[in-house]
Amino acid sequence: MGGIAVNRIRATRRYLVAAVGLLVALAVAVPQVAAGGNDGALTQKQLMPVGYDGYLVMVGNGSWNLTQPHPVVPGCFAMFCDGMYYQREIMRRTADQIAQKEQEAVEHFRTQFGIDVNDPANAGRVQFRSWMADPRWNYRVYSWGGRAVPASGYEVRDGGWGVWITDPAGYTLGGEMAGVHVKSQGFAFTGDYNVLLTNPAGKPKEEFVLSYRGDTFMDGNQVGDTAFSCALSSNSFATDEITGFAQGFMHVAVSPQGVADANLRNVITFGKAGDRR
C-alpha cells in the first residue's frame, strides 16, 4: 500500500508540474495588457484575410455637443471642421499642393458625377468646399491585417473636398453616374485618411496615408442611415490606379440638446488593382 501511495504522490507531482508548465506557456502566448489597463499596449500581429493584400477596419463612435467648439481644431460646425487646417497642419501641404488637390477634386466630381462646381448654372444647386472630420468622431483603426494594433486603436484624421446637393428638388447626375437622382443634402467626398500610429506610450511614431475618391453619392435614408463607397490609392492616384476600396455605413443621432452620437463603420480592402472585392 505504501508503494502505491508513493507512486500516486509522484504521479500527482508530475501532473502539477505539467499543469504549471501549461499555464506558464499560455501566459507567454496570450497577448498581455500592462497592469493598470494600458490600452496602448500592442496586441499580436493580426492575420491578413486570404485573397487580400491589405485589410483595415475603422470605427467612429464619438459623442459630443455640436454647439461646443473643438479645443484645438478651428471652424468645427455640424460634424465638420476647417478643411484648410487639415491640409496645412495634418497633411502639411504647401499652397500649390493644396490648389492641385482641389483641382483634382473638381475634375473628379465633373467626370464621375457630371457636376461642374464652377458652372454658374449650378449656383444655389450645389455647394463645393473643403472639410475635415471633427476629431470628436473618435475615428480609429482597430483591425489591421499584418500589423499589431493597440486596444485603443490608431487615430484616423480624415479630410478633403466635398460637394453637397443644396437644390431642394435634388440633382440628377451625369458623368459615370448619369441618370441617378440625388435628393437634397446628398453629398460626395474626395480626400485622405491619415492614420497616426503611436508607440505604447501614446507618442506619435508614423503616419499612414490613403487617398480616396467617392464613387457614389452618400444619400441617407429616412432615418439617416448612410452607406458609402470609395476607390482608394496608396500613391495619391499619381498613376490613376485604383488599388483598393473603402465601403461602409454611418449614422449620427442628434439629441434635442445638440449632442451627436456617431456610429461609423468602414471596411478597407486591397486586392489586385481595380478588383472590387
pLDDT for the residue 44? 76
pLDDT digits (tens, 9 = 90+) for 197-225: 998 888 999 999 999 999 999 987 777 78
Instruction: Give the model's pLDDT for residue 201.
Output: 85
84-88, 90-94, 155-159, 233-237 — which is least confidently predicted? 233-237
CA-based angle 138:210:40, to the nearest 5? Answer: 40
- Look at residue 135 and give its three-state secondary structure: helix
pLDDT in tens, 78-114: 899 999 999 999 999 999 999 999 999 999 999 999 9
Q: Are 135 and 25 in contact (CB under 8 A)?
A: no
Q: How far apart are CA 148 and CA 144, in angstroms?
A: 7
Cβ neighbours of 136 (radius 10 Å): 21
**Average pLDDT for 152-168:** 97
11-38 per-residue burial string, b: 16 or more CB within 10 A, e: under 16? eeeeeeeeeeeeeeeeeeeeeeeeeeeb
Q: What is the pTM of this model?
A: 0.81
Cell of 42: 500592442
The band of 28, judged by pLDDT with boundaries at 50, 70 and 90, is very low
- Annotate 36-82 with DSSP letters as a single string: TT-TTSB-PPBPPPTT-SEEEEEEE--EEETTSPPSSSS--BTTEE-
260 to 43, 80, 220: CA distances (angstroms): 31, 12, 17
Is residue 184 packed enough to be buried (19+ CB in 10 Å), middle (13-18) or exposed (0-12)? middle
Mean pLDDT of 181-199: 95
Domain ranges of the chain: 1-30, 39-270
Task: Answer with the residue of higher pLDDT: 193 or 47.
Answer: 193
